[in-house]
A and B are shown apart, each in its own frame.
Chain A
Amino acid sequence: MSAPRTARETLPVLEVLEPDMMPKAGLKLDADVVVIGSGASGAVMAYELTRAGAKVVVLEAGPHYPSREFTEHLTTTVETIYADSGDQLNKTGDLSVLQGTCVGGSTVVNGAICFRTPDKVLESWGREHGLDNLVPDALSPYFDRVERSLGVHVNEPHEVNLNGRLLMEGAKELGIHAAPVARNIRHCALTGHCGAGCKTDRKQSMLVTYLPWASHHGARILSGTRAETIQMQGKRATGVHAVATDSQGRQRPVEVRAGTVVVAAGAVQTPLLFQKNRLANSSGLVGHNFACHPSVFMLGEHEQDVFAWVGATCSSYAGDIDNPLDSGYLLEALMIGPQTVVAATEGGTGEDQVRFSENVKKYQSLITLIHDHNVGRVYWEGNRKRIDYDLDDRDFVSMQKAFKAASRVFFAAGAKRVFMPTNRRMTIERVDQIDSTIDALTNESQFYRLFSYHPQGTMRMGRDPGQSVVAPNGLCHDLDNVYVTDASVFPTSLLVNPQMTVYALSNYLADGMIARG
């Protein structure tokens, strides 16, 4: 009889084939399914398909960083595992579109915030885009499944820091719904370093869950390997040509022959791949309908120390998430560190900047999300990718509502001053200045410090091939065996953080693929 195994020994191992390990001549692989991307969608697809018996190869363009190599230093993390080293901008240059580019994708660097898709959003998808298969009752079992798998739970009281409590207290005072957020995390160490990757594997990102599970079932995961060409015979894909780049910059060809191609590279890279290959675009909509929940940081200065970065990266939220189409905004108690605050908010020049920086521990910090319209576009301009997205005037109204709500919450929670997210110093000193200050703002470029972690919508899903790119079952309308499963298929923005929607939708689409054989 063998010795009993420790719990540690039974944990699945993530095996990643990195370019440095590949033969110099490259690789030729055969698979049933090749999955492009290893983030929220690609990882779930790989696991569900692999455990159903399919032979799966996953191609990830970004590097593989095991969590032990995370530095808890945002700057170095951004350099290594964010898209364009953190400088993926809209064409105007006033919106930073942040995505993880590594094994595990954005799930490695997100705030672990979990919301189910609001019912009213799903209902609108059914009503306006023919997605009557995605009704709340149909997706609910999938949310249950992924929530169980990822340890999703509502923050316990000890996981709600002062920053989160102040948001809930202020919102309650104003009659705005507020509550602790749910997160996909186990035994959170409350270091506040989610944005730099969880060094101790508590955040249940794809790096420590679905990818090692897929690996355990036999999926082959290649890092540093960028898909370049979807090889076609008529309307059928026969495989993918990719290029692996090693640590010395040497490139190696990777050919994967496969009966099915799943593209899950995210709402920026997925349409670019299709455009490069001139595929699936009979609707003319590939790359169109980009939305991103444009966000800002807002700060309320208190007399007391808040230390908003201590504890869970995000601990509570406020807003009417059940009625996203009406409310249009969401507030989340979130901070990453002082460098983020001083970069995201203009404190002024000279003494003003210094005083602003010295007081950083006194700031209550919120981010705002809005349910934006799909007005953007992702495309190639020569060999440069472009993201055309300027805040729509209708969405600026939602943003003003968010600014006002955040400002009122700050004052209700006891703040003495509010810092606006503008490129020149702008503060609100009293409650009675809120409306006049914010009503006077206009929708100008280069005036607000905008960012987004939530690109969506560039490969719209819908029943009508003339109005969408992807069918309700995830297949491209124009192709026989190429699926798109990431956030690019969302017909509209969600308002809430999208990771849970991506997990559940991917699981749903994988089940459909398995059922169809």
Chain B
Amino acid sequence: MYRRTFTRLSLLSGGALIWPACRSDPSGAVGTTGLMSTDERKTVERFAEVYLTTDGTKLKPLSEVSYVDNIDRRLSLFDAQTLEEVRLALKLFNYGSIPVGLNFRTFVHLDAAARIDYIARLDDGIAIQRGLSALMKNLVINGYWQDIEAGRAVGYQGPISEEAKIPSLGNAPLSHAPPPRAG
């Protein structure tokens, strides 16, 4: 069961492409805010600190992007079962560092070098471990790049049609295709 759960989680938060929100029924979950616990936020922040080291680079500083709030907001759209699975995964990721590499510390208490080493070990691990690592990466990547200004910092124009006053062409004129034929 755990294998299924954690491997499935790795693509949450946008799959290979995009930002998540796991609602099995579109009429279902209604978002709230402030879902993540202090420990969960800390786990994400400590991961991002070593994964996306933006200080002194062209990228928009991590500290200026509300990526954790973005993650929190998105988690609020998950159905209860998926949310529970994600929370379990965050916990497992954090506590999983205790036996790995003989750190005897949770992930949030590791120094930067040990955190990087832990991530690398997961990347080279079995499917469950790769899934945990991929989940954390996707959460942070999507939480960060959700900010349109993060894209603009690397030359992406973002939404453009309104600014450029590109007119709508409206619905297409009725088709002049020949009428249906028998047969």
Identify the A interface with B (CB < 8 A).
7-8, 10-14, 47-48, 51-52, 61-63, 67-68, 71-75, 78-79, 82, 84-87, 89, 91-96, 98, 101, 145-146, 148-149, 151, 186-187, 189, 191, 193, 199-202, 204, 208-210, 212-213, 216, 224, 226, 245, 249, 251, 296-297, 305, 307, 309-310, 336-340, 342-344, 346, 349-351, 353-354, 357-358, 360-361, 383-385, 421, 423-424, 444-447, 449-451, 510-512, 514-515
Contacts and interface: CB of A to CB of B under 8 A. Distances in A.
B14 A78 contact: yes
B15 interface: yes
A510 B180 contact: yes
A445 B120 CA distance: 18
A382 to B, nearest CB: 10
A85 B15 CA distance: 11
17 contacts: A11-B171, A79-B74, A86-B17, A87-B11, A89-B12, A91-B8, A199-B161, A209-B171, A212-B172, A216-B174, A245-B27, A338-B151, A346-B137, A349-B116, A353-B53, A511-B182, A514-B182
A510 B182 CA distance: 10
Given A72-B158, A84-B22, A96-B15, A12 B146 contact: no
B101 interface: no
B127 A444 contact: yes
A73 B160 CA distance: 10
Q: How would you classify the secondary structure of chain B's contact residues: helix, strand, loop or mixed?
A: loop
A338 B145 contact: yes
Contacts of A95: 11, 15
Nearest to A88: B15
Given A89-B11, A151-B172, A343-B17, A73 B159 contact: yes
A338 B156 contact: yes
B179 interface: yes
Most chain B C-beta atoms within 10 Å of own C-beta, residue among A73, A224, A424: A424
A511 B180 contact: yes
Given A67-B168, A201-B168, A339-B151, A446 B19 contact: no
Nearest to A7: B173
Nearest to B15: A96
A424 B133 CA distance: 9
Contacts of B9: 93
A94 B7 contact: yes
Interface string B133-145: 1100110011001
Contacts of A421: 16
A340 B171 contact: no
Interface in B32-71: 50-54, 57-59
A351 B16 CA distance: 21
Contacts of B77: 79, 85
